[in-house]
Amino acid sequence: MSLVVEHAAPVKKNYVTALKEALFEEMERNPNLICQGEDIGILGGAFGVTEGLQARYGASRVVDMPISEACIVGSAVGLALGGKTVMAEMQFIDFISCGFDQIVNMMATYHYRTAGEVNMPVVVRGPAGAYGGGALYHSQMNEAWFCNSPGLRVVCPSTPYDAKGLLKGALRDGNPCIFFEIKELYRKREIAEFLPEEDYAIPLGKAIVRREGSDLTFVTYGQNVYHCLQAAVELEKLGVNAEVIDIRTLVPLDEDTIFTSIAKTNHLIAVNEAPMTCGFAGEIVARVSEKAFEYLDAPPMRITRLDTPVPWAKPLELHVLPSVEKLVNAALKSVKF
């Protein structure tokens, strides 16, 4: 008599589950990994990313910290100096500003000021972004602050596959990293996907083409990837074939993938959810203008949040943020230039 063993059918994983898997697997792989943050232990994090982690690995490796981002990051720096790898969670990325000094003046600079002798394997991660009615204190995308701080990696995944792979890549990279998670994508069913059963990590610094196109290039990251993809669908109805590049890692930036696309489409629209002034879309436009200007048939454009805090009222929130309509109108203007 043979025994038939039934295996559960694979299921699609959402963004937050992908992040949880990354942390569990890295905690198992690396006994020197410490996780710390506000309510990440008993509560499992405000959004459940660390749920069950303390029960599995104990309070000495998954540490509930005081409500002090300066303490969370500062102690992470000290642990890293002692040979640990650290994941430091910000309950909302907006409040990372309370730990700003420790990040930009300590964490980002140690490798440089020790002539390369000291690494700083710290990943500061947390929920970011708008479109969910979080108003001005729970809707920020402040990634440009850290792109302007030499020594830091800056990452923003848009899919569950990338969320898991890039978090694992960041934890293995050895350099300090600010890891932006889009909270509106955490449990979005439409983007859930099957994840590999085998271990994988995505090296930082490589963009991905989410949609092939020939007439215009959207360059973006995070939640705006989906706005660009939807805009590309609408543009196709109007005879415009748009390519969508998800840069995934802002620092280091994969310029080659962007320039290769511009050489093909000859039109650029850079998109970020943060305000326009000094936003990362401007950095993309600047690099294309400096290094790939000969490929352009129209001025490069930016679609960003207006230079205002994010309002609470839904119509006002949507008014100030990038939208499919804004992207379609900008694309038509660009290709008709």
For 208-335, give the CATH class: alpha beta
Phi, psi of 116, rounded to the nearest 5 degrees: 85, 5
pLDDT at 6: 55
Peptide linkage before 252 cis (omega within 30 of 0)? yes
For residue 7, pLDDT beyond 70: no
Q: What is the mean pLDDT of the chain?
A: 96
CATH 3.40.50.970 fits 15-191, yes or no: yes
Q: To 10 degrees, what angle do helices 255-265 and 280-291 make?
A: 70
Query: Does 7 participate in catalysis according to the annotation?
Result: no
Direct distance between the N- and C-terminal alpha carbons of the chain, in angstroms, rounded to an integer: 75
What pLDDT is attached to residue 10? 83
pLDDT, tens digit, for every residue of 151-187? Answer: 999 999 999 999 999 999 999 999 999 999 999 999 9
CA distances from 52 to 22, 44, 58, 171, 228 (A): 13, 6, 10, 19, 35
Of 3-12, 67-76, 183-192, the least confident: 3-12
pLDDT at position 1 is: 45
| Contact of 175 with 153, CB cutoff 8 Å | yes
Question: What CA–CA distance (Å, rounded) separates 211 from 218?
Answer: 10
- pLDDT tens track for 219-258: 999 999 999 999 999 999 999 999 999 999 999 999 999 9
- Distance CA(151)–CA(154), nearest Å, equals 10
d(CA 167, CA 173): 10
Average pLDDT in the 6-14 region? 79
What lies within 8 Å, CB to CB, of 172 at 6+ separation is: 26, 201
Q: How far apart are CA 125 and CA 127, in angstroms?
A: 7
Query: Which of the residues 7, 138, 267, 319 is marked catalytic?
Result: 138
Tokens of 168: 């694992």
pTM exceeding the 0.85 threshold for the entire prediction: yes
Q: How many CB atoms lie within 10 A of CB 55?
A: 12
Residues of the chain with CATH 3.40.50.970: 15-191
Q: Where in the chain is CATH 3.40.50.920?
A: 208-335
What region does 131 belong to: left with phi over 0, alpha with psi -120 to 50, or beta?
left
